């Protein structure tokens, strides 16, 4: 191989190494700024406490919170994304000015879209409880029976994921499947 090409390849390798080292040092410095930002900390806490949900890009359930705390970091978005991911398991949506926190992709999803024939309770893209199991003869959903079936499934598997309902408009809401106290 050409000697000049070998020299250039070595220079390129050094440049890559230098770039990675500089980016690493920049991340450390940006982390200090992010750690000290009280407005950003409040937005993170609000996202963790949020009861507003959406479906994420990969179909997982995410809670979200709108914030203007992101605007000052538009020029260093990549560093903020890294910090949020590593420290808070969140991501920033700069386009919509919000923070998003994933609840994972293995939740129980109650799907009851009247336009579909595959309604029921889903987990990991497979139906685990058909809607017929908790629908009365007149077509009404028995919510208490559905919740009892979900609780029984979780007890059987020993796995207790989040339970969410997704309607025909893709609105997401958290579902409490615990029986109400004081009732028989």
At residue 151, what are phi and psi to the nearest 5 degrees?
A: -60, -40
User: Tens digits of per-residue pLDDT, 9-49?
Assistant: 787 777 777 878 888 889 999 999 999 999 999 999 999 99
* CA 60 to each of CA 4, 63, 107: distance values in angstroms, whole numbers, following the listed order: 51, 10, 8
The residues, any chain, with a CB within 8 Å of residue 112's CB and separated by 6 or more, are 119, 131, 141, 165, 167
* pTM of the predicted structure, to 2 decimals: 0.74
pLDDT at position 146: 93
pLDDT in tens, 141-184: 889 999 999 999 999 999 999 999 988 788 899 999 988 776 54
* CA atoms within a 13 Å half-sphere pointing along the CA-CB vector of 153: 20
Q: Write down the pLDDT at residue 179.
A: 81
């Amino acid at each position: 191989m050409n000697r000049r090409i070998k020299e250039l390849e070595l220079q390129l390798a050094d440049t890559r190494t230098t770039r990675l080292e500089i980016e690493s040092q920049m991340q450390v410095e940006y982390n200090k700024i992010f750690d000290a930002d009280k407005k950003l900390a409040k937005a993170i806490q609000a996202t963790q406490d949020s009861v507003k949900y959406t479906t994420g890009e990969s179909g997982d359930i995410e809670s979200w919170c709108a914030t203007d705390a992101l605007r000052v970091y538009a020029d260093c978005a990549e560093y903020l994304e890294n910090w949020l991911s590593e420290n808070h398991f969140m991501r920033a949506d700069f386009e919509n000015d919000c923070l998003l926190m994933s609840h994972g992709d293995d939740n129980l999803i109650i799907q009851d879209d009247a336009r579909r024939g595959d309604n029921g309770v889903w987990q990991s893209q497979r139906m685990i409880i058909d809607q017929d199991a908790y629908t009365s003869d007149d077509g009404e959903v028995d919510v208490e029976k559905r919740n009892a079936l979900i609780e029984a499934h979780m007890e059987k598997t020993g796995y207790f994921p989040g339970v969410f309902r997704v309607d025909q408009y893709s609105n997401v809401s958290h579902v409490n499947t615990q029986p109400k106290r004081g009732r028989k």
